[in-house]
Chains A and B, each alone.
Chain A
Amino acid sequence: MINADVRTSVLAALATLLGSLALSPVFTSGAWFPPVLAVVAAVLAGGLVLRRAAAHLTRSPTAPRAVGAVSTLLVPVGQLLLVACVLTAAFAPDGAVAGLLPTTESLTRLAGVFADGTAEIREQATPALPLTGLLALTTLFVGLLAVLVDLVAVAGRQAAAAGVGLLVLFCVPVGTVIGGIGLLALAAPAAGFAVLLWADQRRALGESAAERVSGGSGPAVRVGIVALSAGVLLGGLVPVLPEGSFATGLGGGGDATGTALDPAAELRGQLILPEPIELLRLDSSVADPGYLRAVALDEYDAAEGWSLSNLDGEVSIAEDSALAPLPGRQATRPVTADVQVLEHDDRFLPVPSSPLSVRVDGEYVDGWRFDDATGTVFGRDVTSAGLAYRVIATEPRPSPELLSRAVPLSQGSGLQDRFTALPELHPSIAELTARLTAGATTPYEAVRRIQAYLSDRANGFVYSLSTAPGTSGDDLVDFLRLKRGYCEQYAGAMAVLVRQAGMPARVALGYTPGEVQDDGTRLITSDDAHAWVEVFFRGLGWVPFDPTPIAADRQVPLPWSPRPSAEADDEVAPALPVPSAAPQAPLRGVDPLAEATPEAGAQVGSATSRRPLLLTLGLLAAAAGVLASPAALRALQRRRRLAAPDATGPWDELTATAADLGLHVHPSWTPRRVADALALAVTRGRGGASAAASVEAVRGLARAEEAATYGRPGSGAADPGLRGALRTARRGLVGARPWPVRVRALLWPASLVDGARAKLARRPRNVTGRRP
């Protein structure tokens, strides 16, 4: 059986590798794969070498029997040591012997790396950067699974059961990735499971016959195909995730999110966290506070998107002068905000617009600076973790009339140049801007038209956290063409269009003010992360505009830029004449999807609280599907057998049921002996008239089988009474077994594998060519 062990080991390792491909959507790059490959290879090599050595030991006649058992246990221990070696070599070679063998020192380092990894898991959202700590954890995780799969498949001889390990791998992307996880992550674990099933069957066949029989892999392939199809269908249809459909799911994200240090990427990361993180507690002096700004992005690049060019660290917030006073003509509203930091940890401090003073209770007050150009409060070498601070600000509250009176800035002023700077853009953008702003008499009107174009769903724009992949290579052009995106794209696009129209604009990042709690404060979570646009008006300063069609309960009222309400979509025409190319019809098409996305429809109230529920339901449905598939195959088999023209079908079904229930039926048994054994099992399990009826049914089936198989031709014609007898017999058998056995028989019918064995045993050459 050594060769069978080698084959199963290799197949188990292959299955683990295939299963680990499910992790691909979790990471932004493929850098996670080499260490995983190394650790799986190490486990495989360790298993092969150790098992070979153990076989040598046990084969010598002097070896006591216990050696075999001990060596079986020692193999996984050796494999775990190899996993530790690989981890040491890859992540903590310092202090290790030859950079490979772990020492106390290197293990301490490794533990540090793991601690980093857990922190990285908390900080990053998927797709995550393959940082060292995360890689180490991933390698450890896959390594342990590889040992487990190897142990179950090779030593436990239950290759199919090892598929549970692959299910664990598969749960990682399902649980963490928002949107589609890609065909590879769906198909690879399914293929791995098929490989395991095949290994299981090869072993079963190998044990029952010396010869190799081609074509024996048929059932495994069939089960694999069913599993794969079930995976693809469930992955697509189950409403696990906001974007979980074929329409957007399989493409992956087309956005060029950069590193986690990039504020824009961090924004998306926060929005797609599976569970919202409580970041801040806001106690505001006004009932309807505005946005909490963290930072503004001032530089646009067609390839990289919006980014922060520079921060001026000269002004400390400890200074007495007002930080960002608004011009006197601007209508303002004083706001005092007390912010308690919960889980927020960033170098940008979220503050209301136009802060005048920020008082931090923490120790590093001096470390906080104010950049006037972007209105950003930031820490030079400190972060917001654990702070409580009070901000006094004057939020801009301009009336539309006031804004309408504002005139364009003169060319050549520093602010005008810096905040209207654009790289060379795709011609279609200038064309769109010209079309939108044609006839606009004031900067305000131009801005309003641009905003109305983007925020009116009649134009086909849909809120979506996973953007469809574009083909133009320019994300802005893709967004304006595909009209799918989230706040970052909306705000970025509007800012570009406003700049294109000649007005200073920047993209502000921060938070909507969150939900009011029972104690009157507002709780701001990662779901409240947001991006919007600020436009500079001469004499009025920076004024926020929000083009993103977010949920009604998150909207910040901006009286100068009312957004078309969701109810008004169908009846009321846009307030401003907006050229629209999108007809109404497609809108209907996208509507259901929009409803499903948490923040697209105003009707969806507490969508965020429904997400875990949907996730749980989806996982349950997927698990139920996987669990039910053997039973479904078995039911198909039963129907086919009952349709057989003679009595052999019901008999096959009866023996298969017995095998499912753990009643072993040896191929060398005659029908009478089988009937005796089953009758004994039935009467032992329970007495009474029903048992007697079942026993009689079993014997009747055996007689029918005898007549059909060994009697004169024509004597075994189908008897309609056999179906009833089979039902009675099955009921008796099932009822005689304890309930755990019944559950196992339902979920994991052993006869599916044994069936292949029996089929093989029925071949004449195996009957005649066997050695006992």
Chain B
Amino acid sequence: MTEATRSADGTIDESVDVAAVGARIAAGVSRVVQGKDGVVRLALAVLLAEGHLLIEDVPGVGKTTLAKALAGSVDASVRRIQFTPDLLPSDVTGVAVYDQETREFEFKPGAVFANVVVADEINRASPKTQSALLECMEERQVTVDGISYELARPFIVMATQNPLEMEGTYPLPEAQRDRFTARVSMGYPHPAAELAMLDDRATTDPLAALRPVADAAMVRSLVAAVGRLHVSDAVRRYVVALVEATRHSSELRLGASPRAGLQLLRAARASAALDGRDHVLPDDVQALAVPVLAHRLLLSSEATVGRRSTEQVVTSLLGSVPVPRGR
């Protein structure tokens, strides 16, 4: 993402913003979440693609920190909801309360009214509360007592989730997993990064030291720039071919939805823009196919018995679907 790379790839003016600003944001986040450049970049791409991110991993690897760092790098409002079994839908969306003085119902916005919403341990809440959040994610508005309230823009939900076999969780149904643009797993940090972290955190909190490098308006213009990227017919056909291939794979019970293809292309656009290109390459699609597609798919029983994962299936599909050529 240096200047040299970008000029070699044929940069044009309108995407210079995206790459440069994106690089600044990523650098900020990386100061907090060390050694996880790939995850940071994916989170940024999801933000620019106007999607939502599902971060899945065991406790304590920095899921929440990533969400907070991203929010902190962008000067935007952040709300964090700790999902618990007794969390109510109105805690998420907000509630209309009767004001004795004005004798009117007044809307008290819930946690979802922010640019970045960190939904911690989303699978610990009851399905009813989960679905309340997921409706907001899709519609980008909250309707209470017949009145619709627009949510902020940009709006990204970064939900963290413990692996499903942990106790006391309500797994997200596949229909709701489909709402997330990408799922990412943090993974343990590299020993060197972990060592550096132990040193840093002893004295200061890097989150507190984080300075925003962009504001909400800037992010909105970045999102608009991403939407202007050129997508060739070949790349569109490639996305369709990949999505279609998941539907025909003998290893999958449930393939990817049309929404998956849409979000895959949108994420690929954002990734290309972060690279400073004005057009999408099949490489962008390939790089994002696993995080964007894998969490939506259901393995067939044979594949489950064979201990395959949906990530492996998507990877093998990438190795077999030809990259279309020609305009």
Binding site for B on A (CB under 8 A): 648, 666-670, 672-673, 703, 706-707, 709-713, 715, 761-762, 764, 767-768, 770-772
Contacts and interface: CB of A to CB of B under 8 A. Distances in A.
A711 B279 contact: yes
B250 A771 contact: yes
Most buried by A among B232, B245, B325, B326: B325
B184 to A, nearest CB: 22
Contacts of B192: none
Contact of A764 (B9, B235, B237, B278): B237
Contact of A710 (B279, B318, B321): B279
Contacts of B278: 711-712
B281 A672 contact: yes
Given A667-B323, A710-B280, A771 B249 contact: yes
B232 to A, nearest CB: 5
Given A710-B234, A712-B230, A669 B323 contact: yes
A648 B245 contact: no
B240 to A, nearest CB: 6
Nearest to A667: B322
Given A703-B8, A712-B279, A764 B245 contact: no
A593 to B, nearest CB: 56
For the complex of A and B, list the 6 residue pairs with the smallest distance between their C-beta atoms, beginning with the closest.
A667-B322, A772-B320, A670-B282, A710-B232, A712-B230, A761-B322
B316 interface: yes
Given A770-B321, A771-B248, A709 B326 contact: yes
A762 B321 contact: no
A709 B322 CA distance: 14
Contact of B324 (A712, A762, A770): A762
B283 interface: yes
B323 A670 contact: yes
A712 B10 CA distance: 11
B93 interface: no
B232 A711 contact: yes
A334 B106 CA distance: 149
B327 A713 contact: yes
B317 interface: yes
Contact of B319 (A666, A706, A707): A666
Contacts of B8: 703
B286 interface: yes
A721 to B, nearest CB: 15
A772 B282 CA distance: 18
A291 B126 CA distance: 120
B244 interface: yes
A706 B244 contact: no
A667 B244 CA distance: 17
Interface in B1-54: 8-10
Most buried by B among A710, A761, A771: A710
21 contacts: A648-B326, A666-B319, A667-B322, A668-B318, A670-B281, A670-B286, A673-B283, A709-B232, A710-B234, A710-B281, A711-B230, A711-B278, A712-B278, A712-B279, A715-B10, A761-B322, A762-B322, A764-B237, A764-B324, A767-B237, A772-B245
Interface of B: 8-10, 230, 232, 234-235, 237, 240-241, 244-245, 248-250, 278-283, 286, 316-327
A768 B238 CA distance: 9
Contacts of A673: 283
A709 B327 contact: yes
B320 A670 contact: no
A772 B320 CA distance: 6
Nearest to A771: B248
B320 A668 contact: yes
Given A709-B325, A710-B232, A711-B230, A770 B281 contact: no
A770 B320 contact: yes
B163 to A, nearest CB: 27
Given A670-B286, A772-B249, A772-B316, A706 B322 contact: no
A767 B241 contact: yes
A318 to B, nearest CB: 91
Contacts of A770: 241, 245, 248, 320-321
Contacts of A670: 281-283, 286, 323
Contacts of A762: 322, 324-326
Contacts of A666: 319
Contacts of B235: 710
Contacts of A771: 245, 248-250
Contact of A709 (B234, B248, B318): B234
Contacts of A772: 245, 248-249, 316-317, 320-321
Contacts of A667: 322-323
Most buried by A among B234, B280, B283: B283
A709 B235 CA distance: 9
Given A709-B326, A711-B278, 16 more contacts: A648-B326, A667-B322, A668-B318, A668-B319, A668-B322, A668-B323, A670-B323, A703-B8, A707-B10, A709-B232, A709-B327, A710-B280, A768-B244, A770-B321, A772-B249, A772-B321
Nearest to B12: A712
A768 B322 contact: no
A670 B9 CA distance: 15
A656 B10 CA distance: 26
A116 B235 CA distance: 71
A639 B92 CA distance: 66
A706 B230 CA distance: 13
Nearest to B286: A670
Nearest to B244: A768
A539 B280 CA distance: 110
Given A670-B286, A771-B250, A711 B10 contact: yes
Nearest to B317: A772
A771 B250 CA distance: 8
Nearest to A646: B327
Contacts of B244: 768
Contacts of B321: 668, 767, 770, 772
A648 to B, nearest CB: 7
A767 B282 CA distance: 14
Given A668-B323, A771-B250, A710 B282 contact: yes
A672 B320 CA distance: 17
A711 B281 CA distance: 8
A668 B322 CA distance: 4
Nearest to B248: A771
Nearest to B238: A767
B247 to A, nearest CB: 10
A652 B8 CA distance: 22
Contacts of A669: 323
A715 B283 CA distance: 19
Nearest to A766: B322
B241 A672 contact: no
A653 to B, nearest CB: 14
Contacts of B280: 710
Contacts of B234: 709-710
Contacts of B230: 711-712
A648 B323 contact: no
Most buried by A among B235, B316, B323: B323
A709 B281 CA distance: 9
Contact of A768 (B10, B240, B281): B240
Most buried by B among A666, A707, A709, A715: A709
Contacts of B9: 703
B306 to A, nearest CB: 15
A429 B317 CA distance: 86
Contacts of B283: 670, 672-673
Nearest to B279: A711
A692 to B, nearest CB: 16
A757 to B, nearest CB: 10
A672 B281 CA distance: 10
Contacts of B232: 709-711
Most buried by A among B244, B283, B322: B322
Contacts of B281: 670, 672, 706, 710
A669 B245 CA distance: 16
